[in-house]
Structure formats: structure tokens, C-alpha cells
Amino acid sequence: MEFPILSVMIFTPLLGMIIVMMINKEKHNLIKWTSTLISVLPLILSLIILFQYDSSTAEMQFVEKSSWIPSLSIQYFLGVDGLSVPMLFLTALLSTISLIVSFHIQKRVKEYFAFFLLLEAGMMGVFCALDFFLFYIFWEVMLVPMYFLIGVWGGPRKEYAAIKFFLYTLFGSIFMLVGILVLYLKTGTLDMLELIELGPTYSHAMQNWIWVAFFLAFAIKVPIFPFHTWLPDAHVEAPTAVSIILAGVLLKMGTYGFLRISYPMLPHGTQFFAYPFAILGVIGIIYGALVSMAQKDLKKLVAYSSVSHMGYCVLGMGVFFINSEGAAHITGLAGCIFQMFSHGLITGALFLLVGVLYDRAHTREIAAFGGLGAKLPVYTALMTAFAMASLGLPGMSGFVAEFMVFVGAFASPDFQVMTGIAVIGVVLTAGYILRMVQRVFLGEFNVKWKDLTEINGREIFAVAPLLILTLALGVYPKPLVNMISATLENIVYLVMR
Amino acid sequence: MREFSWIIPALPLLSFILIIFFTRENRKLSSGISIASIVIGFVYAVALLLRQIGDNTPFEMTYAWAVFPTITLEVGIWIDALTTIMLVVVTTVSMLVQIYSLGYMHDDPRYSRYYSYLSLFTFSMLGLVLANNFFLIFVFWELVGLTSYLLIGFFFEKKSAADAGKKAFITTRIGDFGFMIGVILVAAYMGTLNYQEVFHGAANGMIPPAILTIAAIGIFCGAVGKSAQFPLHVWLPDAMEGPTPVSALIHAATMVAAGVYLVARSMELYMHSETAAMVVAIIGIITSLLAASIALVQNDIKRILAYSTVSQLGYMIMALGLSSFTAGTLHLMTHAFFKACLFLCSGSVIHAVHTQNVQSMGGLRHKMPITYATMLIATLSIAGIFPFSGFWSKDEIVASTVGHPIFNVLTLLVAFMTAFYMFRLIFLTFHGKPRDEHAYEHAHESPKSMTFPLIVLAILSICAGWVAIPWLEHGYSMFAYHHEPHHAHAHWDIMIISTLVAVAGIGLAWLMYIKGAISPQKLGQRFKALYTLLLNKWYFDEIYDAAVIKPVLAFTRGLWTFDGGVIDWIVNAFGRFTVWLAKVKQWFDQHIVDGAVNGIGYTIWGFGAIIRQVQTGKVQFYGFAIVFGLVVILLARVI
């Protein structure tokens, strides 16, 4: 039997959680170091997968399949393709970074790190699971640690934010459960690949209904306008590390769900809803950018910018099947995946950096700062770099993603005007990002902050990989594009059936 | 040797990285690395130009950067005559500005950072020039925008500088919005962004004419932003908040000319769309007039030059719109030299008197002879006086308007205004009596590192245009525009008329500011409305602020209120409704369901209580009960 690399990757953090729980709760440093080092193992494994993955085929790889509850035909079924491999790497990377960033946690340290490892296991599981039952378990498992991480270690309105996040997401999941059950009762299988095979056999009406059910679950996660209001609350209240995970990984599960489940499994539903879906993407881009511009809190600004940036993903996905001729519009879809990865890096870094400032200044109010560039040159340089990445500066990964989405979207003659409107987002983004940069870093130095200390080595160490990857993918996107293209072609084929 | 021309931009990039990460602490080393990299680039560029003159076949090398089913995005180099000319112009000005900055920025605490930014800019600008496709040029286009932003806001503690940087970035982004749409439309319809393939496709009707027009105008929007054309010209005068050498390099000679370069590069698109070409020409002449009119009355030396730049860029754009590739690109080159010279001279003056207001200068020619001489040469050049560079290129521009009477008259009007406001500047700054004795006392000639670049640029302001002397077989146009040799004759009539116009402008300035025959104050009083309008730059900033910026910001606040007040309210209302429903259910549970359950319980309990009475635990009682029961049964049988 082959080495079960995926299982090991998923269950290492789980094991880590148990180990951490056995450590004396007073030994803070031991707990912090143990959990951080444990999270490095999945990171290494994800790198191994990244390099060993054969990108010439859309077949599932590193598959592990065994019967679990035979009477209900539930399997333990894991596997990865070009869609999940980059996401696994992103998850592992951001988890380790988040743990490094969490070293300043002083309250109930043991529980915090234990929950974090549980969260990591859940996220990994979602990206690997190919059995619906398993998928749903991982999907829900994630929620629990997330709820506590926001609700216990969060800001002033943490209970409200945590409950809102939990219930809102759960509300969506229930519709997903209904969709899964309908599919199960219809086909008698929970094997996602089989269900995809059977995709075209479902009646159109049924596909549409299930599509809507899944849409609710995934749209809340992405979040797609108008299901986004949990996001700013959750982000503002969550501790820095949790914001990183929330923006970097959890949001991607929404788009991942669409591409893994809704699209290949319900081809007719996907085509049926393509147009309104794409329009929601355009609304998200513009709406998110406009609302960002009105923000006074740094974290809320970044949170709303996520709504805008995830809108590019939705546009890239949605526009794909409007008047499509064969695989012609794969570029938009590729842009979507690129954006998922890129947004994880950039927004993760932005939340990290906002957290760095918050730890020192104990405020995130944009107007409270000013002229920090003179006092904190390194911090300013890093923040400016990611701000530029966020506004889609060429040479950074975000630009490649946006450009690909737009190229794909413009290929649909019926959608050119809407795409043109979406491009306005590029200007609006420059507007709110530069306003923020100016009000925080430029202008006259506010002497109130004369004792502010520069970003420290540990924090630079945490953010450096994100900067390197953002630049690397911006300058040389080929590896990621190559990795996803076979899988994308397969998705296209499956939807066009 | 053309295979290795990527070295020209690569060296400044390397220099940027070295300075940022390693030599930041060592000021001398930082500037040394930066200058060394550009000097090598300059030598290489000159060699390339000479080679291209010898054998004018274009060269291309390309590399697939990202491959999609519909389109392959490329990274590559395209070298033709225009490329080599631009390379030489950019490296020359960049090199001289960097040498000049040794003196000008000498005391700045962020000296190393300044040089790193200059290197980054030079890299981006050279990349922009060398790119062989619309995707790559867009990439570098944005990068020069970034460095422009960083350098305008270099003195970021000053609010006005920070504001100006932001304004420049956002305003040019508005143009880039169109540029992006244009590029992507081309990509969507042609499946390629390579210059030559796109031009070939446009010539063969691969793209519907209407779409071609939209795409060409879209691409032009990028140029409108970057080259500060009407209506997006508002950022350039504010950009003067940056260090003066930066104004010379980026906001006069090179980056702002990138828009002109883009239009020249895409000339073959405009040749296939008359509408787009006419839009280009009209925007060009409007800009040119507008900016020249504002320059007439400004008092900030750098702003006068900034409006002059806008006006001259409008000239070039107009010429290109009227299909004169030669005029547009030639003026781009000559302008780069004389305008860089003018800006560096103004920097020298500011360095000496610590003010930018020409009204408080005067008489400086005695104190700063080199600055005066070089600035005068550049001014004669921009005014279009024989035999300076500007004369030849302006001649070409006026010639391009032949056959378009309205353009022709307006172009000459601009030429008149240009000569006037430039000599107004010279007279106010260097002639007459010092109006601020204190500043005058402390004024001094600048150090050699600053005057040397001035002298070189002054020489170029004289000679650079000679390449286009008509009696030399139209050397420039034959070389630059290899597709259609330009066979214009020497336009004696145009030369004479435009010289007369320029001399008239100079004469008027002389009358007003030297002779005092006409009082500027009285003139201002007489035409007060017009004067105020011009002094306030036609109120563009105020109009944009009231009509665009404020409404957009108000709208964003409104949307935010909507987000919290409506969308989130619905979410919360849903939550509250659920809680309320739960409470109703709880009441129902307690009173009805539990009532029923408890009712049953109570009933059973009641029975139990009665029955319990029977369970006494006394054997006698049980014995009695058994006997009693037996008796009852027996009796029942008997009866």
C-alpha cells in the first residue's frame, strides 16, 4: 500500500491537538512551539504533493479509498487534483504563519492552539474529501474551532460576531445537506466522483433546485453579495491569526465548493444560472470596493476589499458559460483559481500586517494614524507592497488573476458591457487602497505614535513567504497555471456535457 | 547584440534590488551603483542605435509567459528605429538626471531610497520601450505609474506631496481603465497581443471596425492618463511636488511621453480607424490650447513648465492623430531634451533662491550664468527659433496640420503662447531687478554635478533636431518610419510663418516684462474674468471635486449605511425572528406540550397517590386483602 500522504496530512494536526492538550497548560512556550512545529509537517507534505503532482492529467491523485459505513455506502475517500493541490498548500502555509503570528496570545493558550490545530485538520479535510459524508463532516468540523476562536479570543463584540458567523454558515450548510441527501436518495451513492459521472442524468428541474441549495451554502462562504455581512463583523472581532485563516482559506471553500461540486455535478444548473451568477460577481466587485472606501477601520477595509476581490472569482466562474464556445473561456476560470490563491496570499498578509499595527497601537482607526512612514519604514514598505498587490499592480499575483478574469469575461459578447463595468473596480480599488496608505503612512507624523516600535523579526519572518510568493507568481505565473489547466479543461468538459 | 538588449533594463532593476537590500546605509555606494547601471545602459543603447542606423531591419525575440487555450501572453523584445531612439532618449535623460541629483539631493536623509526609486523607474521605463506586445507594455506602464507615485510623494511628510501622488495614481488609473478594456478587446477578438500580429490582424479585418475603433480609443485613454491629456491632465501640475530632478525625468522627458510613445507604437491601429485618429487629434489640440492658456499666468516656475509640458504633449498627440508619425516622435525626442533641461535649470534656480515663485526672483542671470545660458538655449528651442532643435520638430508638427485649417490656426496660436510664456518666465527669473533682495543675496551658481547635465542637455537642445533637417534627405523620417518614407519638401512658408509667430510671442513678452510698455497688472485688470479663469486653471480641480470626488465619497458612505442598515438588518432581523420563534416555541412547549405531558404525569401521579394508599407494607393488611379477595371471588362463584 502506498504511503497515505493525505491522511497523514489531515491527521497530523489532529494528533497535534491531542499532544497539545496533554501539555501542562502553564507551559505557554512549549505549547506554542509544539503546535507551530507540528503544523510544519503538513506544510512539508503539501510541498511534496505540490512537486509530485502530475499536472498532465485531471485524474484524482494520491487517492485513498476504503469502505467506512458500508450499509449506507459511505466511504473514506480522499484524493486531490489541480484544484485542491494549490489550496492545500495555501492552507498549510497560512496555518503555520498564523501560528507564528499567534505567539503573543496570553489567554487560555492551550485551548487556543488546540483549537487552531483542529481547525487546520478540518480545512485540509475539506480540500481532500471526495465522499460527500466525509466532506460534510470536515465542513462542519471547521466551524466549531472557528466559533470558539472568535468567541473567546476575539474583540469587544466577539460573542455577537462568533454566533453570527456560526449560525450564518450553518444556515447555508443545512441547505447543502438537503442537496446532498436528495442526490443520495436519487442515486444511492455518496461518492462525489460517481455523482459527477451521473451529473447529466439528473432532471433539469432537480439540478436547478439542488444548484440553488448548494449556492446558498457556498455563496455565504465566499461571500457573494448580499450574503457578505457576517464577514466584516467576524474579521473585525477575530484575532489576527483567525482573520488570516478566515480570509485566506475559509472564503476559498466557497469557490472551491462551486468548482468541485456545483459545476461538474450539476452541469445544467450551472449553465442555467451562469448569467445571474456572473452579475453577482460584478456587483460584488463594485459594491465591495465602494463600501471599502467608506471604512474607518483598517480591518473592516480589508474585509470589504475581500468582498470585492472574491467578486473577481465569481465573475471568472460565472461568465465562463455565457455564450461559451467549447473551452474558449477557460481563461476566466483559470483567473478565478489564480485569484483564489493570490487573494489568500495578499489578504492574509494584509490582515497579518494590520494585526502587527494593532498589537502595538491598540487601535485600527485609520484616522488615528498619519505619517507612520517616517517612523516605521520597514513596516510601511511591507504594507505598501501588499497594498499595491491588492490594487492589482503588475508584477504581483493579483494582477495576473484580474487580467485573466477580464480576458475570459470579455470573450463573452453578451457580457462585455457588464465586464466593462467590472473593470471600473480597478479604479475604485486604487482609490480606497491609496487613501488608506496616505492616511496611515503619509503626511505629517502624528507624535502620539512616537513610541511605536518597528515590525519585529518574527513578524517579518511570517510575512516574508507571502511576499515572495506574491511576487514570484506575479512575475512567473506559469507553474500555477500549468498545475490547474488539465483540471480546468476537465471541469469545462464536465459542464459542457 | 540585440539579443542581449534586455540587459539595458535589467541593470537598473539589479541596482534597485542591491540598493534596497544591501547598500541602503552607504549613500555614496548607492548612488554609484545606480549611476553605473544607467551609464552602461546608455552606452549599450547608443550602440544599438548605431547598429539600427546601419541595418534598419526590426528585431524580435519572444517567450511564452502564460499559455491559455485562447491566448498566449508573451514576454519579449521588439527593436526597431523607434525603440532605439526611445532607448537613447530615456537613458540619456535618466543618466543626466541621476548625475544632477548627486548635488541636488545631497542633503536628503532618504538619499539612497531616492536612487533606488530612480533605478526602479528607469527599469520600468526601459521595459516599456522594449516590450513587444500590449500585455507587457501594460505591465511596465503600471510600474512606471507606481514609481511616479512613489517619487511624487517622496517628501511624503508634506500633505500636498502625498495628495499629489495619490491624485496622479488614481487619475492615470482612470485612463488605464480604458487602456485595459482596449487591450482585452484586442485579445478577445484577435487572440494575440503581439504588436506585429495585432497590426497585421487590423490590416486584414480580423476585428470588426466598430470594435477596432473602441479598442483604439480605449488604448488612447491610457495615453490620455499617462500623458496628462485633457480631461485627465489635472494630475501633472500637482506632480511637481516631487523633487525637481524627478519632474525633469518622469514628468517632463520620459514617463509622460509614454502615452505619446504608445500612440506612435499603435499607429497602425489608428490608420485603420479614422474616428479613433480624429479623437486623438482633437484631444491633442484641446489639451495643447488649454494648457498653454493656463501657463500664461502662472507664477510657480515648475507649474509653468508643467503646463508647458502638457501643452507640448498635446502637440505630439495631435500630430499623431493627424497621422504624422514623424512629427509626433521627433517632437517627443527634442522635447525630452529641452524640457529636461528647463526643469533641471529651474531646479538649479530653486536650489539657489529657495522659492518657486517667479515674482520673487529677477536678475539672476548675473548670479547664475551657466543656468541662465542653458535655460535660455532650451527656451529658444521650445519657442521654435532657428536653428534650435525645437524649430525642426515644431516645423514638422505645423506641417502635419496642413490640410486641416482649424488645427493649423490653433497650432500656431499655441506656438505664439508658448513663446510668450516661456520668455515671460526667462525675463521674470533672470532679467530685470531682483524683487527679493534677500533671496538674491544668497543665490549662487549650482555645483558642477548640476551644471554639467545642464550643459549637455543644452547642447542636445540645440543639435538633437538637426537629424530632421529637410536638406539632409529627411534622415530622421527615413530612419524612424520605415514603412512610409516621409517625402515632405522643405516647407519654406511654414518655417517663415512659425518663426514670425514665435518672434511675436517673444516680442510681446519683452514689451511686457522688460520694456514695461504694457503693464501685466493692468492687462489682468482689464480682462479680469479671463485672468481669474486662467489663474485658477479653468477650475478643473474644483469641478472634479464637486462633480466626481465628493459625490462618489458620499455615495460610498450611503452604500455603507445601506450595508449595515438594510442588508445586515435583514440578516439580524432573520436572526431575531428565529429567536422570537424559539421563544414562542418555548412558551408552546411549556404551556401546551409540557402541559400535556405534565397533565399526563399529574394524572398518573394522582392515580398513583390513590393506589399508593394500598401499598402499606403491612403483612396483616396484605393477609386481610388476600382473604378478603378470596371471599369476594368465592362469593361471586356461589352466587
In angstroms, the CA B588 to CA B401 distance is 89
Cell 394524572 belongs to B603
List chain B residues with CB under 8 Å of A383: none
Say whether B184 and A406 touch across the interface (CB within 8 A): yes
Cell 397533565 belongs to B599
In angstroms, the CA A325 to CA B451 distance is 64
Residues 555-574 of B with CB under 8 A from A: 555-557, 559-560, 563-564, 567-568, 571
B325 pLDDT higher than 80: yes
Percent of chain B with pLDDT over 90: 57
- Region of B431 (left: φ > 0; alpha: ψ -120 to 50; beta: rest) is beta
List chain B residues with CB under 8 Å of A442: 153, 156-157, 159, 161-162, 165
**What rounded mean pLDDT belongs to chain B?**
89
A226 cis-preceded (ω within 30 degrees of 0): yes
Pick from B518, B536, B317: nearest CA to B414:
B317
Q: What is the pLDDT of residues A51-65, one digit of tens each?
A: 999 988 888 999 999
For chain B, say whether A431 makes contact (Cβ under 8 Å).
yes
> What pLDDT score was predicted for residue B180?
93
For residue B476, give how far its alpha carbon lies from the nearest alpha carbon of chain A (Å). Answer: 35
Q: What is the pLDDT of residues B536-589, one digit of tens each?
A: 888 998 999 999 999 999 999 999 999 988 988 998 898 888 889 888 888 888
B332 pLDDT higher than 70: yes
Say whether A328 and B187 touch across the interface (CB within 8 A): no
Residue type, A362: H
Give the nearest partner residue to B162 out of A388, A420, A442, using CB atoms. A442
Residue type, B521: Q
List chain A residues with CB under 8 Å of B156: 371, 373-374, 441-443
DSSP reduced 3-state for A226 = coil
For chain A, say whether B549 makes contact (Cβ under 8 Å).
no
> What confidence tier does B625 reach under pLDDT thresholds 50, 70, 90?
confident
For residue A445, give how far its alpha carbon lies from the nearest alpha carbon of chain B (Å). Answer: 7
For residue A289, give how far its alpha carbon lies from the nearest alpha carbon of chain B (Å). Answer: 9
Cell 538633437 belongs to B464
**Residue in B6, B68, B167 to test binding to A, most A beta-carbons within 10 Å:** B68
> What pLDDT score was predicted for residue B525?
87
In angstroms, the CA A480 to CA A489 distance is 15
> What pLDDT score was predicted for residue B490?
67
Give the nearest partner residue to B162 out of A393, A403, A443, using CB atoms. A443
Give the nearest partner residue to B139 out of A334, A395, A431, using CB atoms. A395
Say whether A427 and B187 touch across the interface (CB within 8 A): no
Q: What is the pLDDT of residues A368-400, one digit of tens each?
A: 898 898 889 999 999 999 999 999 999 899 999
A198-207, A246-255, A488-497, B623-632: which has the minimum mean pLDDT? B623-632
> What confidence tier does B590 reach under pLDDT thresholds 50, 70, 90?
confident
Q: What is the pLDDT of residues B200-211, one digit of tens each?
A: 998 888 888 899
Q: Measured between alpha carbons, how far is residue A156 from residues A234, A251, A368 in Å?
A: 11, 23, 19
List chain B residues with CB under 8 Å of A231: none
For residue B537, give how far its alpha carbon lies from the nearest alpha carbon of chain A (Å). Answer: 24
Say whether B176 and A426 touch across the interface (CB within 8 A): yes
Residues 115-144 of B with CB under 8 A from A: 135, 138-140, 142-143
User: Chain A residue with minimal CA distance to B140?
Assistant: A394
Q: What is the pLDDT of residues B472-516, one digit of tens each?
A: 666 777 777 755 555 556 678 888 999 999 999 999 999 998 888
Residue burial A258-268, b: 16+ Cβ < 10 Å; e: rest: bbbbbbbbbbb
Q: Which residues contact B71 (CB under 8 A, 6 or more apart)?
A: A331, A407, B187, B191, B192, B193
For residue A39, give how far its alpha carbon lies from the nearest alpha carbon of chain B (Å). Answer: 30
DSSP state of B517: S
Neighbours of B510 (CB within 10 A): 16
Say whether B563 and A229 touch across the interface (CB within 8 A): yes
In angstroms, the CA B530 to CA B523 distance is 10
B387 cis-preceded (ω within 30 degrees of 0): yes
**Residue in A167, A331, A366 to test binding to B, most B beta-carbons within 10 Å:** A331
**Helices marked H in A102-157:** 109-128, 132-153
For chain A, say whether B575 makes contact (Cβ under 8 Å).
yes
> What confidence tier does B627 reach under pLDDT thresholds 50, 70, 90?
confident
Q: Measured between alpha carbons, how far is residue B308 from residues B79, B222, B262, B399, B414 in Å?
A: 31, 20, 21, 21, 10
> What pLDDT score was predicted for residue A399?
93
For chain B, say whether A152 makes contact (Cβ under 8 Å).
no
User: Chain B residue with minimal CA distance to A290?
Assistant: B556
Which cell numbers in the block locate residue A11? 491527521
Q: How many separate helices (H) and strands (E) can be counted in chain B?
A: 29, 2
Residue burial B322-340, b: 16+ Cβ < 10 Å; e: rest: bbbbbbbbbbbbbbbbbbb
DSSP state of A131: B
Which cell numbers in the block locate residue B227? 500623458
In angstroms, the CA A342 to CA A398 distance is 6
Cell 544599438 belongs to B48
Q: What is the pLDDT of residues A141-196, one digit of tens each?
A: 988 999 999 999 988 888 899 999 998 999 899 999 999 999 999 898 999 999 99
H-helix or E-strand containing B326? helix B325-353
Cell 520605415 belongs to B482
Pick from B146, B149, B143, B184: nearest CA to B165:
B149
For chain B, say whether A386 makes contact (Cβ under 8 Å).
no
> What confidence tier does A328 reach under pLDDT thresholds 50, 70, 90?
low
For chain B, say whether A427 makes contact (Cβ under 8 Å).
yes
Cell 497601537 belongs to A361
Residue type, B36: A
Residue burial A437-469, b: 16+ Cβ < 10 Å; e: rest: bbbbbbbebbeebeeeeebeeebeebbebbbeb
How large is the ipTM? Answer: 0.91
In angstroms, the CA B276 to CA B128 distance is 23
How many Cβ contacts (< 8 angstroms) between chains A and B?
Answer: 137
Say whether A426 and B177 touch across the interface (CB within 8 A): yes
User: Quick one: how far is CA B526 from the chain centroid?
Assistant: 38
